[in-house]
A and B are shown apart, each in its own frame.
Chain A
Amino acid sequence: MKHLLDTVSLSRDEAISILDIAEEMTQVSEREVKKLPVLRGRTVVNLFFEDSTRTRLSFEAAAKRLSADVLNFSAKGSSVSKGESLQDTIQTISAMGADALVVRHSGAGTPHRLAHTGWIDVPVVNAGDGTHEHPTQALLDAFTLRRALGGFPASGAVKDGPRGRGLDGAKVAIVGDILHSRVARSNVHLLSRLAAEVHLVAPPTLLPWGVETWPVTLHYDLDEALRSEDFAAVMMLRVQHERMHESFFPNEREYARLWGLSAARLAGLPEETFIMHPGPMNRGFEISAAAADSPRALVLDQVENGVSVRMAVLYRLLTGREETND
């Protein structure tokens, strides 16, 4: 594995291996000195063309816990419109001595392009590209699910945590704006590769054309989906308020009523169903406060696991090359 650009090209074995390394990394986070010396002297560049403090901080924490130096490069807006080309930006960063690039961009495919143009020859991690993919988010979701469904604490260090296994047979519902969600795309590929059974629940306007070709079961009606299936987890997606102005749905009230995880729907869920959300949440819109704050919500575990999973990814990409020289 040279880059982590998407989950669609991640094999089941590779994914499980990253989750297993992340298990090891949770141990580091428990230590008094939360640091491993494995990436000492290496520089990880966070190249964020789009603001995301949460994701950037998570990658920064991950790199620092592996003793890497971190450079944050914020280049908001289209590079071409600012007069500096993507190529110039990347070659500048390359000249500063980057050993890995973590890239966030509003346009689908930009990390992929950086990995394949030859402008820079370092591992590239996709930290979210447009509405394409967000592979580390899906990995941390899978990690959290594997913990929770295995009966382990959903986050934190666990002595004999779940290793070597996938999510075989787990029914996971992803609810909301699938069309504009890179989290949904990455999760569909990864969870199904880990042999979970993925269900998508959304109004037809928020599902991509051609979604029937995906390895998922589709539902337009949330209540019917919840009635007919016993989900191991329900993952609510953030819905942007602006979508109603683009006629994806009439208004927030109707959306919340039909597709929100209300207190009533929460009450109707089987006791063992977990609730997930990639954050940040719109409380009272796609998710009620009751659901967000319920003990079965894994939202904060997801955030905590994000650091371990990103440590695992950086470790894998930055140390794997030396292994191949052996």
Chain B
Amino acid sequence: MTDYLIRGADVLGRGAADIAIRNSTIVDPELLDPTSSDVEVIDAGGLVALPGLVDMHTHLREPGKEDAETILTGSRSAAAGGFTCVHAMANTAPVADTAGVVEQVHRLGRTAGFTEVVPIGAVTIGLAGEQLAELGAMARSAARVRMFSDDGICVSDPLLMRRALEYVKTFDGVIAQHAQEPRLTEGAQMNEGVVSAELGLPGWPAVAEESIIARDVLLAEHVGSRLHVCHVSTAGSVDLIRWAKSRGINVTAEVTPHHLMLTDELVRTFDPVYKVNPPLRTDADISALREALADGTIDVVGTDHAPHTAEHKCSEWTAAAMGMVGMETALPIVVEAMRDYDFDFGDLARVMSSSPARITGASGHGSLEVGASANIVLIDPNSAHSIVPDDHATKGRNNPFAGLEVKTTITDTFFYGHRVLAGGELSTPHPAGASWTDQ
């Protein structure tokens, strides 16, 4: 493998410095001889270096829905977006509810070689919400699953949720909850508010999310376990999480780029690209979410990257699938969303890399210290361009930010020392094949 000397990048926004990579590890730059033919020198003046991004929430669709995305196309999309580690949700076909399926996902991720794919196990068999899946077997499998979620569906049975929270303490696991009270959201098509009242689309009240979060933080406190709340979307949810944290409850929370940026006013177009679960909310919710991300109440940004084929989005609103893609636009969107807040590149690295790495136990990610694995992203913060979904590596064209002007471009991604994205272009998978983390 090539050694790299990245020169003059603004490291975490704290000033220009050099970063050296040898054998997939960050080393002291003094150790590299820039004149050696084994060392590739990259002039990174004007670029910002961050630890490789970690996404706690993606849908890679394989196995079962390979027409929407595969682990390879999803991995390439991740690399293009600066993600060196992504967690793949369990709602595949078959569902990732056994050691066999999570090992398959894990293996396919290693074969793809563009990012570290960590499977998330289902909490319940078949996401049916009735019986615990083999959480222990998944945790002890080669995939070493630590995070479990029925995402797409809420673990709504309070007793089952309690048991899941208790059980994963065996292996320091975490339950990632998709907070959606099912009875309060039957047939729901969009946020319940003044827009849904006018459009006559069945609404999805904020309380359907908040009541589950309230219940779950109390359960997590009661049994002394770890809870992660997926895609927080309302101001009320922020208040509940802030309260829970002030009580010392072990809860972490996530927000998506789209919930930081888009509101339910967009549903007036009836364009299904804006149909998503949880739904786009209001300006007041956006302000609360941005503030919570800045002050740490919300720990991480998760993309909830959800590719769909055109058939599922080129339909009438009510028949369309829910979800948006977002790995390739996440970082630029978060930068735009947080522009007016006290939120620097260090904060960006915190919410998109080090915190998600800590919560999920992704030990190879989240740090630019000497000795850390060389998972690094370089971004150009002054390269205004508008978003063109057709140019993206994901199969999904359901990106809601098409045409939006952003200032940041992801130029380079180093994945365990291999430059999977070079000057904005995807290159080759990691040459160590399926064994890159074992080096």
Contact = CB atoms under 8 A, between A and B. Distances in A.
A209 B270 contact: no
A213 B312 CA distance: 34
Given A79-B319, A110-B318, A130 B197 contact: no
Chain A binding surface, main DSSP class: loop
Interface string A221-242: 0000000000000000000000
Interface in A103-131: 105-110, 112-113, 116-117, 129-131
A325 to B, nearest CB: 29
B315 interface: yes
Interface residues of A, number: 31
A132 B202 CA distance: 10
Nearest to A134: B200
Contacts of A132: 199-201
Contact of A210 (B193, B311, B315): B193
Contact of A85 (B189, B315, B318): B315
How big is the B interface, by class? 20 to 34
Nearest to A112: B270
Contact of B318 (A87, A106, A116, A133): A106
A112 B272 CA distance: 12
A109 B196 contact: no
A37 to B, nearest CB: 35
A107 B196 contact: no
A320 interface: no
Residue among B196, B269, B319 having the largest count of chain A Cβ atoms under 10 Å: B319
Nearest to B186: A246
Contacts of B200: 108, 129-133, 182, 185, 208
A273 interface: no
A182 B198 CA distance: 10
A212 to B, nearest CB: 9
A214 interface: yes
B315 A208 contact: no
Contacts of A106: 318
Contact of A208 (B197, B269, B319): B197
A107 B205 CA distance: 19
A273 B332 CA distance: 61
Interface-central residue, B199, B201, B203, B205, by most chain A CB under 10 Å: B199
Given A85-B315, A86-B316, A87-B314, 18 more contacts: A78-B318, A80-B311, A80-B315, A81-B319, A108-B199, A108-B200, A108-B318, A109-B318, A110-B318, A130-B200, A132-B201, A185-B198, A208-B196, A208-B197, A209-B203, A210-B194, A213-B194, A214-B197
Interface of B: 189, 192-194, 196-203, 205, 269-271, 311-312, 314-319
Q: A-B pairs with the 5 shortest C-beta distances?
A: A107-B318, A109-B270, A131-B200, A208-B197, A132-B200
